Amino acid sequence: KNRILSGIQPTGNLHLGNYLGAIRNWVALQEEYDSFLFMADLHAITVPHDPKSLAEDTYKVAATYLACGIDPQKSTIFVQSHISAHSELAWLFNCVTPLNWLERMIQFKEKAVKQGENVTVGLFDYPVLQAADILLYEPDLVPVGEDQKQHVELTRDIVNRFNFQYGSEDQPVIKVPEPMIQAAGARVMSLTDGTKKMSKSDPSEMSRIDLIDPPELIQKKIKRCKSDPVRGLEFDNPDRPECQNLLTLYMILSGQTKEAVAQECAEMGWGQFKPLLAETMVAALQPIQEKYHALMADRTYLESILREGREKAEAIALQTLAKAKVALGYSQPL
């Protein structure tokens, strides 16, 4: 079986972008692929965080994975910080990664602007840790949303350089993965600005739909979300980014084709479309929310899943780490 690996940072509630850009695709992929899915809690401290909620937020993401349909019989679910090989391989990769590769990272530049004086070495080094996360499990594919593509490309550059420097020509030390970006939902946009992506770090809660938002809040957010003064709704008009985003959400959540939605909504005004979208969203999220709340109430079950996941993941991670250390010329620990 081919393997996939992906993860999400436990910083606040997950939103519709995380679901449609990532988790939803994993649910489909786990049927065919050996799947490794984790909570990136080491990444979560690259910007200021609250120690009081880190552990709880990590459980919340695990419960969200399961509630969305990740099946622990088919997928291995684990916590990044529980497996110290992630940090260790990141250090080894730090020493093969040229500084200027990291200076090019778009997400770093965006986040650094927001952090001002408080930019840490960790925020800068974040993509190298992500490379370690991925390469420890030697996956074939890394299913992520569009915004993570550059990080997966960097991971490929790092492993190619590592293999070139420390492997033999016909024997790469570590397998080179490919990004996998599903077309629909790869970039869910903000509800208050159709040209910006939906993001956990947007200060306005009205800009995103969290997966656990109650129905009334979803209705309110959709009612108030940005639209435009044009009557009749259409896909692919670059002057109407909000229209594109909301129609796409409706298409995915209602399970219809683009053609069917284009036809259904061609003559609609916003006053008719928004309640339809809100209703569709509430219906799609309701079963996820029910499962989520039940899972959060059963800590023992969640813990057992994460314990099992850790055992399985760590066995593989340690093998890859050992290979990397041998290639670098380290002696065996005595």
In angstroms, what is the minimal distance from the CB of 313 to ligand TYM?
Answer: 13
Query: How far is C-alpha 144 from the chain's CA centre?
Result: 6
Positions in the binding site for ligand TYM (CB under 6 A): 5-9, 17-18, 21-22, 40, 43, 130, 133-134, 142, 144-145, 147-148, 151, 186-188, 197-198
| Closer CB to ligand TYM, 102 or 268, in the complex | 102
Is 220 a known ligand-binding residue? no
Is 130 a known ligand-binding residue? no
Describe the crossing of helices 270-296 and 241-254 by its angle, rounded to 10 degrees.
50
In angstroms, what is the minimal distance from the CB of 331 to ligand TYM?
Answer: 30
Residue 1 appears among annotated catalytic residues: no
| Closer CB to ligand TYM, 141 or 268, in the complex | 141
The residue at minimum Cβ distance from ligand TYM is: 21
Task: Provide the token pair at 245.
Answer: 């985003």
Out of 74, 175, 200, 226, the active site residue is 200
The β-bridge partners of 151 are none
Is 133 a known ligand-binding residue? yes
Phi-psi region of 179 (alpha: psi -120 to 50; beta: other; left: phi over 0): beta
Instruction: Tell me the DSSP string of 182-216.
Output: -STTSSPBPSS-TTSB--TT-S-GGG--BTT--HH
Is 331 a known ligand-binding residue? no
Residue 258 appears among annotated catalytic residues: no
The separation between the first and the last C-alpha atoms of the chain, rounded to the nearest angstrom, is 35
CA distances from 314 to 96, 219, 322 (A): 23, 43, 12
In angstroms, what is the minimal distance from the CB of 188 to ligand TYM?
Answer: 4
Closest CA to 305 of 136, 129, 67, 140: 67
In angstroms, what is the minimal distance from the CB of 290 to ligand TYM?
Answer: 22
Is 146 a known ligand-binding residue? yes
In angstroms, what is the minimal distance from the CB of 180 to ligand TYM?
Answer: 10
Out of 60, 197, 221, 274, the active site residue is 197
With a CB cutoff of 8 Å and minimum separation 6, the contacts of 333 are none
Out of 74, 111, 220, 226, the active site residue is 111
| Closer CB to ligand TYM, 106 or 297, in the complex | 106
How many other C-beta atoms can be found within 10 angstroms of the C-beta atom of residue 318? Answer: 15
| Closer CB to ligand TYM, 40 or 251, in the complex | 40
* Pair 146, 8: CB distance under 8 Å: no
| Closer CB to ligand TYM, 72 or 194, in the complex | 194
Residue 109 appears among annotated catalytic residues: no
**Dihedral through CA 153, CA 157, CA 159, CA 162, nearest 10?**
-170
Is 172 a known ligand-binding residue? no
Annotated binding site for ATP: 9-11, 17-18, 145-147, 188, 197-201
Annotated binding site for L-tryptophan: 133
List the catalytic residues.
111, 197, 200
